[in-house]
A and B are shown apart, each in its own frame.
Chain A
Amino acid sequence: MRRLTAVEVHARKIRELGLDPEGLDLMTPEGLAGALRRAASYLCPCSAATLVRAVVRPLRGLVPDLDHARELVEDTLDAMVAHGDLLEQPEVQDGAQSARVLLYAAPVSFVVRHSGLVVLLGVAADQLSPLPSELERRIQYLGHIRRLSPSSASEDLRGELRELGLLELTSDAWLRGPKSRTASQLLAANDRALDAVAPSRDIPGLVLLDPTKPVRYYRGRWIEPRAQTGRFVARREQAYGADLWCYVQLTNGQPERMIDLPQRGSRWRGCDEAWHLQMAIDAHRGGAQRFRVTPSGQAVVIEFFSPAPAWARRRWDAIGEPVPTTGGLFAYRIPKAEIEEERRFVHEALWLEEIAVGSR
């Protein structure tokens, strides 16, 4: 039994997470992701708030600002859910599905890229690793991402991981997005769904994503309804639960029709459908959302100003590494060789416009 300093606590716990205390502490994205995976291994299924609480509470006295820590934990958790370590699904109780959304631990699984690189996903109960220690030691931690590279051209990582009982997800299944559509087609499909529902009355706690606000400041686009008329991506309050995503029609600020997102049977989260729909709305209005590409040594950094659906973020999780951004919402460093394909994807699937180099 011995007394530890705060620095020593950081180092011990980082080591317990299988990470290197030389370069990381509990507030780094890698440390937070490790702590979240560990808490999820005990607590799932549970709400996102429960997981965040489980990670933030033990940081008391170890970090200067707990509120800031909470924000970082929430951001890391969002990235992990988009990545596929945790799955956001409606709660199932006694066979019936409730409106409450919970986080479930994804089965321990992996995706093999064409290059042979392996992306590890999922959480095992009680934080046990199904990997033998020599493979465990080879895991590369980049933010919330865990990767394994073949040690030689002949190493059959796929076979080895399958034999160990990990579930293989094909790259296509992991990266699968909605079917290819133009922004107008996606908008029209949602409009048809909205036309088909019965009129709704007051919607408590409604906030809207204002398409007229600048697309480069996502948080500033959220407004309360006043006298708006039109159709909006929105969030609405839910008693004792996370806000729900919806698509709503207003006349003079009064809700007339509303559909919840995701639509029934969808494999995407509500936010994935909502963010994609907002991209379509912005593009359709002629004010497409933006992205920026800047060189960074042998790689490039691709930077975004609004959130992107999980199926888009997974692409960049697979080929790049998350890096901090100033002024943007999130960014990835990716190899130069990949950038043209990603530009094409961002234009065609997300309808974003690139900011010319040099402009801020």
Chain B
Amino acid sequence: MDLAGWNERLSLHFASLRDVRADRETHLPIFALEHGLSDVEVRELSEAVRVHVRHAPPAREHAVAWIVYAAEIGYGYAGDEYWQTFEAKTPGWTRNGERDWIRDAFVAFRKRFEAASPSGPWAGKFSIIAWPITHAILPRDLQQQLARILYDLRHSFSAELFDEPQRLGDFIAAQSWNTSARFRNLVQAPALVGQIAAALLLQGREGFKTLLHPMTLKRIGDDVDRERRGRDWLRGARRAAEERAKIRGLTIGRPTKTTFDRRDEARAEVERLGIEPRLVLRPIEDSRWEVSLEIPDLSHLLLRFPQVRDVLTESRCTVAGAAGRPLARGRCLYGPQRVALSRWPRPEDILLKFERADLQLEFLLRAECMLRPGTTWLFKVASDGLAYESRGMRVRADSKYVLVSTDSYASSPLARGVELTCEGVRAVLLDVPSALTQEWEQALRQFQLTQAKSIEVWPAGLAAVAWDGEGHGEWLASETPTLAICSDHPIDELTIAMGERGPSLSLALTDTPPGEPIFVELPPLPVGLHKFSVAARSGSAAGSAVIGDLDVIMRVREARPWSAGVTTHGPLDVELDPATPSLEQLWEGKAALAVRGPAGRQVRCRVRMFVHGGEAPSFERQLPAVTLPLDSDEWTLHFERHLKQDKDAPQAYDHAQLCEVEFSADELGIFTLRCEREFTPLRWALRRDTSGFIARLHDDAGGGELAVERYSFEQPTIGEHLPRATEHRAPRTGGLYVATMGEFRTSMVVPPIVKDFADLRCEPRIETPARTDKSISWLVSLARLWGDARLSGDLIAGTRQRLVGRALARRIWSLLGGDHWGRKEDEYARGDLGLRELRRAIPQPARQHQGYGGREALLADQLLPHEVLKRLADAPLHERGAAFVDFASKLQLFPESGRLGGTAARSSPLGVVRRPQSSTWVAEFALRMASDPGAVEAWGGNKVEEGVLQLREAPTLARAARFVVLAVDQHRQSHPVAGELYAGWRWPS
């Protein structure tokens, strides 16, 4: 059949498919991969396409055939490069074809056949290849991931979830935050993913027969089955889907929406999710109690509010009142965890605050993540010794309580003062006797407490997920709660009612003596908040009186999906920042990784690299075991020493698409970190042949004007324009390769060829520009250009990047610190000057006499003395920062605006409205600028210009900051590790 014939056959097929699918209420789109052709026919069609394009450009009358051809290539796409594969498989395309033509053909196909349209941010970035990849439905490399995620989610399936593809897709998207970048792109079109998933799970069942063409579905299913793991996952997920598709009203799929029209609706939804942090007190020593906050698993928020996903996954979280570092990105999504508080949160504090401000998330968190309003909180001491917050301010006889208040307590002989490891509150211990005296009753009134009613309720048989002892509890949606109810007075009737129209039960209990519990099984409850009212009556029906009543608040939630590996309730704890680091971040030391567990235990560590996922590894090494606990700096050093310096590792890295790092410790568990190559529209790759390095530009961007430049190490501020080719043979001296296309820019450091020692020598030359804000800004942008560049595996690439980065930093500080400082720093860099002499170049602060009460002038040597610097060098970064703030404050080094921390706005010389920053911000800016100017923009955003102005106003502060950075670098007595320009100065990104 010729190409016209194929086109006609396919057009008829797609038209028929469109009509069938249009019958569904949901108007599901069709995909090019649903072509209905056999393998042999696909091969024949492909051959017809190739024959045509060898001699002629693609024609509109063959567009549908071309679309099927492009989608078939998309089906095999694995994230490397689409067009390279396309061109290799289609001889003549480079000469006769145009990428834009393919996009136009897909757009026309969508219009004509109501076909799928790519959506989401990735479709904007990859504006052409998004079409064939979307129309490939589920490219092979993503199939296993979808099968796995469906398996993980199987316990949460319900009929409602399968009713609307969008809802199922949202659900999958919410659980995909830690999958590969490619999979996260896929779920940016949730309706399409939902359609694919529902088809894979339920195809063949009534109502699900037309989700995808049966042949296409079989093909995908067969490909999933090729790997046993995928087959088992899909089989398990299908089985659960078939069982649970019959169930309505129980789980996450109940009628709901992920966008809420009214703010109060959204708040109510958050309340139902059960994400309220819980306060717990723990006795630690004589009369002292530690206060900790149990942070809930926020992954439930993702399900209902996918729009806050980016903040939850990509932003660190500060816990109000906690003294330690912020929680790593994504940390709140792995399960509950406890954080010790050193300060009682203020009533207006949101207990969890994310670094990246997001008004929507903040609004949602205000619903549940704040302290219970008031000035007093009651904690019941349980039999395990811990004290759990009791929400009603009620106490029971023969029980112990800790009462915590922000106010002072009037003294009472019945309340013993106890100390908390938390500022801002006072606490007393109440040991309530079995019979309350008048004195006790008075004391309880004084503390605004009441005695619990005569009726008591508790979970019977098996524990609830949580139970506060007084009527508030949490269960899983899969459970059938049973309650025990007991009264300490004789009762004749017990009534249990669930809302006004809900089920109720009335029991005559004439034969039940006081104190004997009765057991009540509740009906299955959907996810959400439920209230049961329990009332006990005595007397005959006509004259009965309520002698006790209690409201039971039950929160029913989804179970967290199980996945293999390390969990927060296991003994091995792995902290990653970012939560899903790329291969480049791992290699370049830009991913923080810490492993915690029993101190002294050895953990084995294995690294494997893969050219293609799913294939045998191209590189495998067992690194020496690490000893717990392993902090991030130790890991970076371990990885650098034992992996990056392996002679085969650099080349393996250059070719790898995926790297797996596995930590295993027998019964403690296994954790596998998977790092994939960054998935960007424009990226460099490097290969080496006998004559040197060749930089190849991978271009999956949608089009635009391409510009390529090379910067040499010797003259790192001058870019040399290169031809707009995709392959560039690098000179022996290497350099920085930068490609720009529209809004996309990518850069890579190509190392020099090193044959002898002379090749190792390099001295970057940077002319000193005029001392203007513009010059500083220009140098900072160059530092960023060099700092952001990807590194090839060859270690010398990193060394050269650091060399250039340091030279740029020196030049920036010669502008900020003045000519004299600049000269002294150059001498210091050459080794002609020691730290002691460099310190003398920090002039004495002009205001020292005010600061030191008129004492004699401060000598230069007293500024940051040697022993202080030595101590600081080994201190963690945040302690060093705090010490610098303290030092600069004492010496009044901050600029006027910074010192005052005021809010008045004023204009900069450039006309920008300036809002003075706090002293702490200025100090951190100074230290960041002094240690890694290329990264300062990513941290400071649009405040960088303001920071520069502040430093120019306070040159002594600027020089002091720079001096501290250089001194710590020297005192550390170790080379900077990956990700550091100066030793000891690796800032969290």
**Chain A residues in the interface with B (C-beta under 8 A):** 1-6, 8-10, 12-13, 16-17, 26, 35, 38-47, 49-50, 52-62, 84, 87, 89-90, 92-95, 97, 104-109, 121, 123-130, 132-133, 159-160, 163-167, 169, 173-174, 239-240, 264-267
Q: CB-CB < 8 A to B600: which residues of A? A: 264-266
Identify 16 residue pairs between A and B in the complex whose beta-carbon atoms are under 8 Å apart, listed by A's number: A10-B461, A16-B479, A38-B462, A54-B463, A56-B383, A57-B463, A58-B484, A61-B460, A61-B517, A92-B597, A105-B567, A106-B570, A124-B567, A125-B569, A163-B232, A167-B669
Contact present for A2 and B521 (CB under 8 Å): yes
Closest beta carbon of chain A to B604's beta carbon, Å? 12
Contact present for A240 and B461 (CB under 8 Å): no
B856 on the interface (CB 8 Å rule)? no
Which 6 A-B pairs give the minimum distances between C-beta atoms? A165-B564, A265-B600, A13-B461, A61-B517, A49-B384, A126-B559
Given contacts A132-B236, A167-B670, A239-B285, A45 and B569 within 8 Å (CB-CB): yes
Given contacts A87-B571, A90-B599, A240-B282, A128 and B559 within 8 Å (CB-CB): yes
Among the 9-residue stretches B109-117, B503-511, B800-808, the one with 4 or more Cβ atoms under 8 Å from chain A is B503-511
Given contacts A107-B565, A125-B567, A9 and B466 within 8 Å (CB-CB): no
Contact present for B229 and A44 (CB under 8 Å): no
Closest beta carbon of chain A to B576's beta carbon, Å? 15
Closest beta carbon of chain B to A263's beta carbon, Å? 9
Q: How far is the CA of A12 from the CA of B481 in the complex (A)?
A: 10
How many chain B residues have a CB neighbour from A under 8 Å?
76
Contact present for A3 and B567 (CB under 8 Å): no
- Can you name the residue of chain B whose Cβ is closest to the Cβ of A8? B519
Contact present for A167 and B564 (CB under 8 Å): yes
Chain A interface mostly helix, strand, loop or mixed? mixed
Q: CB-CB < 8 A to A163: which residues of B? A: 228-229, 232
Contact present for B566 and A169 (CB under 8 Å): no
Contact present for B570 and A5 (CB under 8 Å): no
Contact present for B519 and A130 (CB under 8 Å): no
| Neighbour of A17 across the interface among B228, B236, B462, CB < 8 A | B462
Contact present for B667 and A12 (CB under 8 Å): no
Contact present for B482 and A13 (CB under 8 Å): yes
Q: CB-CB < 8 A to A130: which residues of B? A: 562, 564
**Chain B residues in the interface with A (C-beta under 8 A):** 155, 228-229, 232, 235-236, 239, 282-286, 324, 335, 340, 382-386, 458-463, 465-466, 476, 479-480, 482, 484, 486, 496, 498, 503-505, 507, 516-523, 559-571, 573, 594, 596-601, 629, 631, 666-670
Contact present for B283 and A240 (CB under 8 Å): yes
Contact present for A239 and B596 (CB under 8 Å): no
Q: How far is the CA of A88 from the CA of B400 in the complex (A)?
A: 28
Q: CB-CB < 8 A to B571: which residues of A? A: 45, 87, 89, 104, 106
Contact present for B570 and A105 (CB under 8 Å): yes
Q: CB-CB < 8 A to B384: which residues of A? A: 46-47, 49-50, 52-53
Contact present for A239 and B283 (CB under 8 Å): yes
Q: CB-CB < 8 A to B668: which residues of A? A: 87, 107
Q: How far is the CA of A56 from the CA of B228 in the complex (A)?
A: 43
Closest beta carbon of chain B to A333's beta carbon, Å? 26
Closest beta carbon of chain B to A24's beta carbon, Å? 13
Contact present for B486 and A61 (CB under 8 Å): yes
- Can you name the residue of chain A whose Cβ is closest to the Cβ of B597? A92
Given contacts A130-B562, A265-B600, A239 and B284 within 8 Å (CB-CB): yes
Closest beta carbon of chain A to B295's beta carbon, Å? 14
Contact present for A126 and B560 (CB under 8 Å): yes
Q: CB-CB < 8 A to B629: which residues of A? A: 92, 95, 97
Contact present for B667 and A173 (CB under 8 Å): yes
Given contacts A1-B521, A47-B384, A240-B283, A126 and B476 within 8 Å (CB-CB): yes
Contact present for B567 and A1 (CB under 8 Å): no
Contact present for A169 and B522 (CB under 8 Å): no
| Neighbour of B239 across the interface among A46, A132, A173, CB < 8 A | A132
Given contacts A16-B462, A42-B463, A62-B460, A53 and B383 within 8 Å (CB-CB): yes
Contact present for A58 and B385 (CB under 8 Å): no
Q: CB-CB < 8 A to A87: which residues of B? A: 570-571, 667-668
Closest beta carbon of chain B to A120's beta carbon, Å? 13
Q: How far is the CA of A240 from the CA of B498 in the complex (A)?
A: 41
Best-surrounded residue of A2, A104, A121, A159 (most CB of chain B within 10 A): A104
Contact present for A267 and B601 (CB under 8 Å): yes
Contact present for B462 and A3 (CB under 8 Å): no
Contact present for B505 and A106 (CB under 8 Å): no
Contact present for A265 and B505 (CB under 8 Å): no
Q: How far is the CA of A61 from the CA of B559 in the complex (A)?
A: 28
Q: How far is the CA of A44 from the CA of B155 in the complex (A)?
A: 21
Closest beta carbon of chain B to A231's beta carbon, Å? 25
Q: How far is the CA of A96 from the CA of B665 in the complex (A)?
A: 19
Closest beta carbon of chain A to B796's beta carbon, Å? 34
Q: CB-CB < 8 A to A173: which residues of B? A: 666-667
| Neighbour of B519 across the interface among A6, A107, A124, A127, CB < 8 A | A6
Contact present for B670 and A107 (CB under 8 Å): yes
Contact present for A127 and B383 (CB under 8 Å): no
Contact present for B597 and A89 (CB under 8 Å): yes
* Other contacts beyond A1-B498, A106-B570: 15, CB < 8 A: A2-B505, A3-B519, A4-B482, A8-B519, A26-B462, A50-B382, A60-B458, A89-B571, A104-B570, A128-B561, A128-B562, A165-B563, A166-B564, A173-B666, A266-B600
Contact present for A58 and B386 (CB under 8 Å): no
- Can you name the residue of chain B whose Cβ is closest to the Cβ of A168? B670
| Neighbour of B559 across the interface among A10, A84, A109, A127, CB < 8 A | A127
Best-surrounded residue of A5, A47, A163 (most CB of chain B within 10 A): A163
- Can you name the residue of chain A whose Cβ is closest to the Cβ of B596? A92
Contact present for A35 and B498 (CB under 8 Å): no
Q: CB-CB < 8 A to A166: which residues of B? A: 564
Q: How far is the CA of A164 from the CA of B286 in the complex (A)?
A: 48
Closest beta carbon of chain A to B635's beta carbon, Å? 13
Q: CB-CB < 8 A to B516: which residues of A? A: 61
Q: How far is the CA of A203 from the CA of B519 in the complex (A)?
A: 48
Contact present for A169 and B521 (CB under 8 Å): no
Q: CB-CB < 8 A to B458: which residues of A? A: 57-58, 60
| Neighbour of A1 across the interface among B383, B503, B667, B670, CB < 8 A | B503
| Neighbour of A128 across the interface among B155, B385, B486, B667, CB < 8 A | B155
Q: CB-CB < 8 A to A127: which residues of B? A: 476, 559
Q: CB-CB < 8 A to B594: which residues of A? A: 95
Q: How far is the CA of A257 from the CA of B560 in the complex (A)?
A: 49
Q: How far is the CA of A203 from the CA of B180 in the complex (A)?
A: 55
- Can you name the residue of chain A whose Cβ is closest to the Cβ of B289? A240
Best-surrounded residue of A3, A109, A159 (most CB of chain B within 10 A): A3
Contact present for B335 and A3 (CB under 8 Å): no
Q: How far is the CA of A225 from the CA of B134 in the complex (A)?
A: 77
Best-surrounded residue of B463, B482, B562, B566 (most CB of chain A within 10 A): B463
Q: CB-CB < 8 A to B496: which residues of A? A: 1
Q: CB-CB < 8 A to A9: which residues of B? A: 460-461, 482, 519
Contact present for A93 and B340 (CB under 8 Å): yes
Q: CB-CB < 8 A to A167: which residues of B? A: 564, 669-670
| Neighbour of B598 across the interface among A1, A53, A89, CB < 8 A | A89
Contact present for A4 and B521 (CB under 8 Å): yes
Contact present for A264 and B567 (CB under 8 Å): no
